[in-house]
Chain A
Amino acid sequence: MNFTFSEDQEIFRDAFKKYLESNVTPEKIRSGWEDNMPFNQARWQELEELGILQSNLDEKYGGLGLDLVTTCLLVEEMGYYALPEPAAEQMFLSNLLINKSIDIAELIEEKSQFIGVTHSLSPNILFLDNSSKQINLVEDSISIVSSKDINGKKLKSSDPSRDLTNFIFENSDSGSLQTLNDQKSLVNNVATSGMVMSAAILVGLSRKILDLATAYTLDRKQFGKPIGSFQAVKHMLAEAAIEIEFSKATLYRAAYSLENDNPLQKLHAAQAKLQAIDACEMASRNSMQAHGAMGYTWEMDLHIFIRRGWSYKQVWGNKSLLENYIMNQLEKDLPKLGSTYTFL
């Protein structure tokens, strides 16, 4: 039993954090919003050059073969900085599909280009214009189609960093549609991976949202002192810190179970996502409150991160779906509950 990260994992994470710190600033995110182009092609290129996009792709496809625990750490930081480009999706969804299926690997020639993945847990297409292919997962089949054959309507997200299109496939003459059947376990695997991915993003977002609030309460003075010196404010933010702390280990265990194909990986992923949802809700609500009216403005950066949480709480497993799943699992596993089964 060793529940700690290796030095290499931490070094990789910290190096990536440095990149994000200077290259994914609220100003840059806002300028993408203003131009109606949240997907910055140049930054995508940088992420490719840094080896991030292919980091967890198998070595035979030109990747680094990075494990999903390290990948999870990187994605948590993408959440922290609210990276608009769908690098997390590329890593946890399309790279996973390519790694696990030779058939899919053969159909995707350009593996560093963005490959969108849709599923009933996240049915709208993210960044259609920037993706070369769309992969649609339905129960036990996987369809792969060229993005130019999709003819959906643009949808407006409450998060301007998310460029969404609904999924309408136009059966054009080019006939790019390829369907693989009997893929139930792979479809399930990707759904689980999506839960871990969205949980990691939420944990990163929650940390950032809390950091913004603590900084603000040091700065803002009322009654002649920083509002952060008042207990009512301290306790609100302490409560958020507690929720965040207790979402982390659950998340890393879920990533570990996914990486090691643990038979309970879906349960672990669902646990991680629910804890992350709780953390993000508490952090968002209390940090907004600590900001007072300023938090409710477009000008303050806080909402860039809070909005992202609104979306990621719902896609790839929302509260209701996850709770039902876990409750059913627990009823089945009742004899095997209790502390001696934590790491079964």
Chain B
Amino acid sequence: MKIGFSDSQKKFRDEIRGWLEKNVPKTPLNSFDTKEGFEEHRDWEKKLNSGNWSMVTWPEQYGGRGLNLIEWLIFEEEYYRAKAPARVNQNGVFLLGPTLMEYGSDKQKEKFLSAMATGEHIWSQGWSEPGAGSDMAAIRTTAFKKGDKYIINGQKTWSSRAAFADWTFGLFRSDPESERHRGLSFILVPLDAEGVTVRPIPQLDGEPGFAEIYFDDVEVDVSNLLGGEGEGWSIAMATAGFERGLMLRSPARFQETASKLLSLYFKNKDNLSGSIESKVLQSWLRAEAYALNIYQTASKLMAGKKIGPESSLGKVFWSELDHQMHQTALDILGVSSELEEVEADDVAGWIKGYMFSYSGPIYAGTNEIQKNIIAERLLGMPR
């Protein structure tokens, strides 16, 4: 055990810090869930890519920097420290990208990876359907093969970023006779294809962060099938693992929120009760505990160990923490906490984050599903 950063890790930190200080926009971009903001964020992805910072964990052969997990955590810490824009293409860079590298053909990698890295293709996710939420194996949207095309019919929903994105990836039923998780295929679909209708769904903050996607005899070339036909479920499980696991939820985000909460607390301390104090303290403690756990997990992975259902532990932990932190901030702000446009004490940021924090325990597999996984697969309790 050696806890602390090496000289080369410190040097790397300085390098990314320097680049971000020079390049992060001085005024925050508009939300990426607005048309204008989406394009601003696409430009930011392009900018990141110009410095070779857009997909740092990708191997060098795919244009990345091949960073190991510890370096990636450092990158994320600096990214949040610099208050750099949110990643509009996280579905692509962190979910589809690694999946493509593992399951994609050379042609697919060539076609999609660099367009993803430059922000030319922004990706949305297409998992859930009206009848398939937590029970994803109940998927009914079909993609039947006809010649060298798949003909897609049906409906996806809660598709993050789909309102303005260029492509979607998801699971479709390719075998008409199949049931449950058999006979599903992982297919990439351009959202400008004929027969695709995207209906944006405004979220709690009023912005269309997700959308319904209707498929009406949409023709997609068979070359857009990822992996083998009918192998979609196991590929999707690998993708879900990336999502629940390390890649999307670096601890920096929660640690920065916890520090911001502490500052807010100390500024207003004289008027606050003990229960607020203990929640503030607990927020900081738990954000640190999360970070330490992730560093330990990253070290284990780098030493060649695997993680499986353990990632469910973290998903419940960070999503509950994020909600508690925002709830506590609003309790400190009191009567001004409802004023969405007030910039003092970043009321606007807290209320937006508070709304978003309600979604954490739901997306990427609800916390109830995660607890089932923990009980059944880690504790060995019966199904």
Contacts and interface: CB of A to CB of B under 8 A. Distances in A.
Interface string B271-286: 0000001100100111
Nearest to A267: B288
A256 B3 contact: yes
Nearest to B300: A4
B81 A3 contact: no
Given A4-B1, A238-B379, A241-B374, A253 B292 contact: yes
Interface string A233-263: 1110111011001111110110010000000
Interface stretch (B116-124, B172-180, B239-247, B249-257): B249-257
A218 B376 CA distance: 11
A251 to B, nearest CB: 9
B290 A246 contact: yes
A241 B316 CA distance: 11
Contact of A218 (B262, B370, B380): B380
Interface string A81-96: 0000000000000000
B278 A323 contact: yes
A343 B310 CA distance: 24
A193 B256 CA distance: 29
Interface stretch (B4-12, B130-138, B183-191, B323-331): B4-12
B70 interface: yes
Interface stretch (A16-24, A110-118, A329-337): A329-337
B78 A340 contact: yes
A334 B81 contact: no
Given A5-B1, A231-B372, A238-B316, 20 more contacts: A1-B3, A1-B70, A1-B299, A4-B1, A4-B303, A218-B381, A228-B375, A234-B371, A235-B368, A237-B375, A241-B374, A241-B375, A242-B316, A246-B286, A246-B289, A247-B289, A323-B278, A337-B262, A337-B284, A338-B255
B266 A245 contact: no
A339 B73 CA distance: 10
Interface of B: 1-6, 9, 13, 70, 76-78, 80-81, 251-252, 255-256, 258-259, 262-263, 266, 277-278, 281, 284-286, 288-293, 295-296, 298-300, 303, 310, 313, 316-317, 368, 370-372, 374-376, 378-383
A184 interface: no
13 contacts: A1-B6, A3-B295, A69-B1, A234-B381, A239-B316, A242-B317, A250-B292, A271-B285, A330-B281, A330-B284, A339-B252, A340-B13, A342-B291
Contact of B288 (A2, A5, A234, A250): A250
Contact of B372 (A218, A234, A340): A234
A239 B371 contact: yes
B266 A334 contact: yes
Interface of A: 1-6, 9, 69, 210, 214, 217-218, 225-226, 228-229, 231, 233-235, 237-239, 241-242, 245-250, 252-253, 256, 271, 274-275, 323, 326-327, 330-331, 334, 337-340, 342-343
B91 to A, nearest CB: 24
Contacts, number: 163
B379 A241 contact: yes
A339 B281 contact: no
Contact of A340 (B70, B81, B317, B383): B81
Nearest to A244: B313
B300 A339 contact: no
A249 B256 contact: no
A231 B223 CA distance: 42
Nearest to A243: B317
A339 B277 CA distance: 21
B316 to A, nearest CB: 5
A133 B376 CA distance: 50
A330 B293 CA distance: 21
Scoring A239, A241, A339 by chain B CB atoms within 10 A of each residue's CB, the highest score goes to A339
B291 A339 contact: yes
Query: 8 closest Cβ contacts across the A-B interface?
Result: A234-B375, A249-B292, A339-B255, A238-B371, A3-B299, A339-B252, A238-B374, A228-B381
A241 B378 contact: yes
A72 B4 CA distance: 19
Contacts of A245: 293, 310, 313, 317
B4 A226 contact: no
Contact of A237 (B13, B256, B317, B379): B379
A246 B372 contact: no
A76 to B, nearest CB: 15
Scoring B256, B262, B285, B380 by chain A CB atoms within 10 A of each residue's CB, the highest score goes to B285
Given A248-B293, A327-B277, A242 B313 contact: yes
A245 B286 CA distance: 12
Contacts of A249: 289, 292-293, 295-296
A343 B73 CA distance: 12
B302 to A, nearest CB: 8
A334 B13 CA distance: 22
Given A229-B383, A234-B381, A343 B78 contact: no
Scoring A214, A246, A340 by chain B CB atoms within 10 A of each residue's CB, the highest score goes to A246
